[in-house]
Structures are given as structure tokens and as C-alpha cells.
């Protein structure tokens, strides 16, 4: 059996996937998600806090125990925005290697974008892809936007300092100020990756990451997350603004009580939802949700060596 493991060490959540590779497809064997909030306070201090480091170490120890029963041929563990920006990242990386038995890599924003696209396309058959194809991977600390004009062309990409954790800490409930910042960063980024011939035209827009999948689960009214229902779910130009309005009317505590928003995601989901909404408005098209993304891209790249 060709069994591989991918670990995504994000600003908000850590995720694990152990899967068997069969004819280019992934058959999940073990999956886990832990809300760590590694980037808590990072904007203010520039460093990972001692409590965040302890939460992160506990999550990695849990992942190591989950991997142990499987004859895993390859393990790739990748950290993103929070570790990328932290002044004390070496402390975390050394502890991560000791707990997992493999080196924890720190992805650049560009590498993160490419892996998110790879993972998303792995779950989207070629006949379902329409070009120009745009993917937005909205995370806790950053958002990656990737545009592929044709199936053969090189993707154009941008990593933006817009994330659900960082925006929540900066603006709390001040939505007008939050939207102003998002628009100021998002608009030039979209112009930059669009290129002259593709400017203003996207045939298919997908979103991956915890914000997107949570919004789909909320729109579907799921009491228990179902990846098959979330995959390819369309957030329409009517449904998404309605979700944002509903979430904005609730307190963080009330949002945490909604199905699928346990473990504190209700505290940051509004900021993430506004990023997705602003992207949808800028592109004037529906947003289709991908359950697969960065985590699958990490696993596939580790298993294939490229």
C-alpha cells in the first residue's frame, strides 16, 4: 500500500490527513483537525505566545499518535503564515521535528498558493474545470489567490496579508473598517494576477479552507460536517451576503453555538466570510466551495516528491 501523510500547520487550525493513494486518488484513512489559534496575538507581539506554543505542541503530539498505526511511506508537515512571520519560529520548528520525527517546513506564500491549487484540482475532475479558473484559499493569517488562464498555462498567484484571525484581532466588530482594508488589498491583487487579456473575466471561482467549508456547511444546515455535500457547493450572490448578515447579527458566543462552529471558529468566521464576500463582489460571480485544498496538496507533494 502506498500510504502518505500530510500535516497543515495553520494560523488557526492544525490538520492531519493519512491517506492511501490509488490511481492518483486519495482514500482517507485518518483525518483530524485541532483548533490551535497559533497566531493568537502575533500581530501585536510578532511572536508565538507561550500558550499558543503549548497548544501547538499538544496538537502535533496527538497527530504523531494517530499516524503511528499506519505504514506511512511519506510524511510532509508544512507551516504557513503564523510560523512564517513569528520571530521565535525556530523554537516551534525544533519542537515540531522532535514530536513528529520529520522536519517541519515553512512555506512561502507562493508555495502555499501552489499547493492549495494542487489539492483543489485533485478533487475536481478535468471535465468539471472551466478556465480562466480562480482559486481563493482563505486562511487564518493570509489568503492566497491563484488564477490559471488555461489548463496548460502557468498560474498567476498572490499571497495577501488578509486572514480571519488577524482581521478579527485588528477590527473586532468594526465591519466597515474591515471591509475598507480588505478592498484596499484585494482590488490591486486581482488586477495584478488578471493580466490584460483576462482582466475582469473569470469562468470559475472556487474557495478552499476552513472559512469556505464552514460557510457551505452553514448554508446547507449541516449538523455534522459532510465533505461530499460541501464539495462543489455553490455560494450564490444572494446566499453569501445573507450568511454574512446573519453572522454579523450574532455575538461571537452565539456564533460558537451554531452547528459546525465549535472550538472557537465562531469568533473568527465573520472576518473570513467578509473576505469571501468581497472577493465574490469583485468578481461578480458565484463562489464554489472545495473541501480539498492545501492539506491534500501537501500530502500529494510529499508522496510524489514534487
- Rounded percentage of the chain residues whose pLDDT exceeds 70: 97
| Sign of the CA dihedral running 90, 264, 297, 195 | negative
Position 235 confidence tier, pLDDT thresholds 50, 70, 90: very high
Within 10 A of 285 (CB to CB), how many other CB atoms are there?
17
Computed over every residue of the chain, the mean pLDDT equals 94
Beta bridge partners of 26: 21
The per-residue pLDDT for range 81-91, each reduced to its tens digit, is: 999 999 999 99
Look at residue 232 in the predicted model and tell me its pLDDT: 97
Q: Name the band, by pLDDT with cuts 50, 70 and 90, for residue 23.
A: confident
Query: What's the confidence (pLDDT) of residue 198?
Result: 44
Choose the weakest-confidence range: 64-78, 127-141, 196-210.
Answer: 196-210
Long-range contact set of residues 24-27: C-beta below 8 Å, sequence gap at least 24: 24/122, 25/122, 26/122, 26/296, 26/299, 26/300
3-class SS letters over the chain = CCEEEEEEECCCEEEEEEEEEECCEEEEEEEEEEECCCCCCHHHHCCCCHHHHHHHHHHHHHHHHHHCCCCCCEEEEEECHHHHHCCCHHHHHHHHHHHHCCCEEECCHHHHHHHHHHHHHHCCCHHHCCCCEEEEEECCCCEEEEEECCCCCCCEEEEECCCHHHHHHHHCCCHHHHHHHHHHHHHHHHHHHHCCCCCCCCCEEEEECHHHHHHHHHHHCCCCCCHHHHCCCEECCCHHHHHHHHHHCCCHHHHHCCCCCCCCHHHCHHHHHHHHHHHHHHHCCCEEECCCCHHHHHHHHHHHCC
Q: Kindly list the distances between the CA atom of residue 223 and the CA atoms of 15, 63, 163, 208, 220, in Å, as whole numbers in the listed order.
A: 21, 25, 26, 20, 9
| φ and ψ of 164, to 5 deg | -65, -35
Report d(CA 93, CA 103) in Å as an integer. Answer: 8
Mean pLDDT of 125-135: 95
* C-alpha count within 13 angstroms, C-beta hemisphere, residue 138: 32
The pLDDT of 110-137, averaged and rounded, is 96
More confident residue, 173 or 111: 111
Query: CB burial class (10 A; 0-12, 13-18, 19+) of residue 87?
Result: exposed
Please name each of the domains of the chain with its CATH number: 3-109 (3.30.420.40), 124-290 (3.30.420.150)
Look-up of cell digits 463562489: 287
In this prediction the pTM is: 0.95
Amino acid at each position: 500500500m502506498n500510504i502518505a501523510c500530510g500535516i497543515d500547520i495553520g494560523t488557526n487550525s492544525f490538520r492531519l490527513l493519512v491517506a492511501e493513494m490509488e490511481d492518483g486518488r486519495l482514500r482517507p484513512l485518518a483525518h483530524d483537525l485541532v483548533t490551535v489559534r497559533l497566531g493568537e496575538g502575533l500581530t501585536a507581539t510578532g511572536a508565538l505566545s507561550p500558550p499558543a506554543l503549548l497548544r501547538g505542541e499538544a496538537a502535533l503530539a496527538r497527530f504523531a499518535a494517530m499516524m503511528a498505526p499506519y505504514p506511512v511511506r511519506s510524511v510532509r508537515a508544512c507551516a504557513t503564515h503564523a510560523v512564517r512571520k513569528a520571530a521565535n519560529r525556530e523554537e516551534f520548528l525544533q519542537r515540531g521535528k522532535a514530536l513528529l520525527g520529520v522536519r517541519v517546513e515553512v512555506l512561502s506564500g507562493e508555495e502555499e498558493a501552489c499547493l492549495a491549487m494542487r489539492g483543489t484540482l485533485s478533487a475536481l475532475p478535468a471535465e468539471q474545470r472551466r478556465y480562466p479558473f480562480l482559486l481563493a484559499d482563505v486562511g487564518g493569517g493570509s489568503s492566497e489567490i491563484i488564477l490559471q488562464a488555461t489548463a496548460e498555462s502557468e498560474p498567476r498567484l498572490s499571497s495577501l496579508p488578509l486572514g480571519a484571525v488577524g482581521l478579527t484581532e485588528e477590527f473586532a466588530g468594526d465591519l466597515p473598517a474591515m471591509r475598507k482594508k480588505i478592498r484596499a488589498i484585494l482590488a490591486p491583487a486581482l488586477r495584478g494576477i488578471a493580466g490584460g487579456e483576462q482582466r475582469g473575466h473569470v469562468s470559475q471561482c472556487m474557495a478552499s479552507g476552513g472559512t469556505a467549508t464552514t460557510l457551505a456547511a452553514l448554508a446547507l444546515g449541516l449538523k455534522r460536517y459532510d465533505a461530499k455535500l460541501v464539495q462543489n457547493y455553490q455560494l450564490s450572490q444572494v446566499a453569501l451576503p445573507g450568511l454574512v448578515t446573519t453572522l454579523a447579527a450574532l455575538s461571537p458566543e452565539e456564533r460558537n453555538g451554531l452547528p459546525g462552529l465549535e472550538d472557537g471558529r465562531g469568533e473568527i468566521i465573520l472576518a473570513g466570510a467578509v473576505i469571501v464576500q468581497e472577493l465574490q463582489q469583485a468578481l461578480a460571480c458565484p463562489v464554489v466551495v472545495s473541501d480539498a485544498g492545501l492539506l491534500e496538496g501537501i500530502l500529494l507533494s510529499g508522496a510524489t516528491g514534487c
